Chains A and B, each alone.
Chain A
């Protein structure tokens, strides 16, 4: 437990500093009220809004841990949203819509995984195919329109709340905890890391590396499906052109802010979802502070750069060196006097 806390300490610190920074611009940032039996407040909005990226980040962490990357998750969100919405519009009911959407996500994962593990195509290229072509598939399903539905049961997944807490927030916490337990309470996490560090060596040691990589991309596809369901339920409509647009990059950024190496190997799911919350805190904070919209992306870039610089291992060792030199100089001066 203590080790796990130490692993996510930089991310927690960043969140606290960001919260202080936003509070400076918007004093009631941390205030949470209870209205109509549901919690409301900027922090609640952040844990709700951050759900799609947090869930994508869970799947992305696993893919990145194997040394891969999944650029298609944003597009898979659009596809699964379109599948779910068209199932609802056709009157097939919520369970069928959910099953079909998850099936579409898993299929996308099998496709990506097969390209990477069986055909040996580089992950960034393999998933780029679905990233660009997939939006066309989503548009074919919605016929280019925003498919609007009015099923309140399905909308509950995006905008409902349980015991005052927004459902999307519960979903990402649940996803994160389940996947983390599955990885850490079994040997699975270790196997994923070993494939990421050296695929050939793990295969020679008896790990089914090929199968594991396909399964990891399927997990990412399933996470994308869940994120797509939430995004679609949230606006009660499937927008094939815009659903999940550029979210794959936010998910990768969340993994990176979580301190995971894009080269594969050791990973922490908790740190990645905290990374997603950091990104969402920046986004919501900018909106609350009320800057003109031209500044949004610049502010985001500066903050992200600052966070990554603080986490940079090079900078950390340089800093340690400087501190040592200062200490030495002081000691020398003390001797002279």
Chain B
């Protein structure tokens, strides 16, 4: 066989394979209100490209009517599946029924809806309580039997991540009487308030000498608090252990500098598990469970934070 024919056959086989597999998936994204969501969009597009899926992307700019219009367009185009990150929980019944009648499976990403579970194939998301629990268990292991006074930076008062991540952390440290949450205040998920609240914690706890660890409901608050700790003349990561949730690039930078200890990932890769479930469904009709929980992976200083930072900083966080 000459080189030319070999190349031709390869190309032909690849072309055939692609033709047999090329699926079209419509993705209705909420918008781009946070860095995390921007990263989710980037990763969904990446995952689709890797699997040779033709992704039709629609940005709803925080409006449900835009999402419903996008879904209707997807149904009219006869896509093979629909991914949607629903902006609100209610009002999806009729459009989901339309999709079901057209035999198009719908997968929910990172948020849930209040509709009948029969109307969608599955939902991919993270368990917020579990995230807090992973953080709590890490701290319990890190301090061992030493007595540890923890300060907590909560998310926005009353928001579900703030409530669930608090509950989860308390679950994680349950049974360790040596660990005690001594101060807990909201810092609204932001860097500047995180810094301000941490400053007052340091004042209130003997200049920080009485604080053994900081638990922040998201990384941004932790990044702000780390600066406050440094300005108080203490070493974050050593004098005060720092554990937070989300795994955004800037916390890996802090970890690489030895200023943060651990973070729990809220993965923006919701599309990966969704595409896996869809592939199985298309292949032989395997129906996935109604909720696919993503990994809440724990990253510590020993997980190459510098490398993680490089890998993540381009994702649009």
Count A/B pairs, Cβ under 8 Å: 83
- In the bound complex, how far is the Cα of B158 from the Cα of A273, in angstroms? 32
- In the bound complex, how far is the Cα of B127 from the Cα of A275, in angstroms? 44
Q: Is B291 an interface residue (CB 8 A)?
A: no
- In the bound complex, how far is the Cα of B201 from the Cα of A161, in angstroms? 21
Contact with B along A192-225 (1 / 0, CB 8 A): 0000000000000000000000000000000000
CB distance from B180 to the nearest CB of A (A): 14
- In the bound complex, how far is the Cα of B317 from the Cα of A95, in angstroms? 28
Which chain B residues numbered 217 to 246 have a C-beta less than 8 Å away from chain A? 220, 223-224, 227, 231-233
CB distance from B94 to the nearest CB of A (A): 32
Could you say which of B191, B195, B197, B224 contacts A287, with CB atoms under 8 Å apart? B197
Could you say which of A235, A287, A296 contacts B227, with CB atoms under 8 Å apart? A235
CB distance from B194 to the nearest CB of A (A): 8
B190 touches A145 (CB 8 A): no
Q: Is A103 an interface residue (CB 8 A)?
A: no
Chain B residues within 8 Å of A236, by CB: 227
Q: Is B316 an interface residue (CB 8 A)?
A: yes
Q: Is the interface of B mostly helix, strand, loop or mixed?
A: helix
CB distance from B3 to the nearest CB of A (A): 46
A293 touches B186 (CB 8 A): yes
A235 touches B192 (CB 8 A): yes
Contact with A along B199-219 (1 / 0, CB 8 A): 111011001000000000000
- In the bound complex, how far is the Cα of B184 from the Cα of A284, in angstroms? 14
B191 touches A242 (CB 8 A): yes
- In the bound complex, how far is the Cα of B162 from the Cα of A292, in angstroms? 14
CB distance from B192 to the nearest CB of A (A): 5
- In the bound complex, how far is the Cα of B188 from the Cα of A73, in angstroms? 21
Q: How large is the interface on B (under 10, 10 to 19, 20 to 34, 35 or more residues)?
A: 35 or more
Q: Is B38 an interface residue (CB 8 A)?
A: yes
B200 touches A284 (CB 8 A): yes
A288 touches B204 (CB 8 A): yes
B203 touches A234 (CB 8 A): no
Q: Is B62 an interface residue (CB 8 A)?
A: no
Which chain A residues numbered 1 to 50 have a C-beta less than 8 Å away from chain B? 26, 33, 35-36, 40-42, 45, 49
Which chain B residues numbered 260 to 317 have a C-beta less than 8 Å away from chain A? 316-317
Chain A residues within 8 Å of B184, by CB: 292-293
Chain B residues within 8 Å of A70, by CB: none
A145 touches B192 (CB 8 A): no
A235 touches B200 (CB 8 A): no
- In the bound complex, how far is the Cα of B207 from the Cα of A231, in angstroms? 23
- In the bound complex, how far is the Cα of B185 from the Cα of A170, in angstroms? 29
B316 touches A146 (CB 8 A): no
- In the bound complex, how far is the Cα of B220 from the Cα of A40, in angstroms? 25
B191 touches A49 (CB 8 A): no
Q: How many residues of A contact B (CB 8 A)?
A: 32
B35 touches A296 (CB 8 A): no
Q: Is A337 an interface residue (CB 8 A)?
A: no
Nearest chain-B residue to A237 (Cβ)? B191
A144 touches B224 (CB 8 A): no
Chain A residues within 8 Å of B227, by CB: 159, 234-236
Q: Is A250 an interface residue (CB 8 A)?
A: no
A146 touches B220 (CB 8 A): yes
Chain B residues within 8 Å of A148, by CB: 250, 253
A234 touches B183 (CB 8 A): no
Could you say which of A42, A45, A235 contacts B224, with CB atoms under 8 Å apart? A235
Q: Is A241 an interface residue (CB 8 A)?
A: yes
- In the bound complex, how far is the Cα of B38 from the Cα of A242, in angstroms? 17
Nearest chain-B residue to A243 (Cβ)? B192
Q: Is A313 an interface residue (CB 8 A)?
A: no
A145-B317, A146-B220, A293-B186 in contact; A159/B32 too (CB < 8 A)?
A: no
A287 touches B200 (CB 8 A): yes
Nearest chain-B residue to A42 (Cβ)? B203
Chain B residues within 8 Å of A42, by CB: 200, 203
B199 touches A45 (CB 8 A): yes
- In the bound complex, how far is the Cα of B33 from the Cα of A40, in angstroms? 37
Chain B residues within 8 Å of A36, by CB: 233
Most chain B beta carbons < 10 A, residue from A146, A236, A288, A292: A146
Mark A residues whose CB is within 8 Å of B.
26, 33, 35-36, 40-42, 45, 49, 143-146, 148, 159, 231, 234-237, 239, 241-243, 284, 287-288, 290, 292-294, 296
The 8 closest A-B pairs by CB, nearest first: A293-B186, A287-B200, A242-B190, A235-B191, A235-B192, A145-B35, A42-B203, A293-B185
Q: Sample 8 A-B pairs with CB under 8 A, ordered by A number.
A: A143-B316, A145-B38, A145-B317, A235-B195, A239-B192, A242-B190, A288-B200, A294-B158
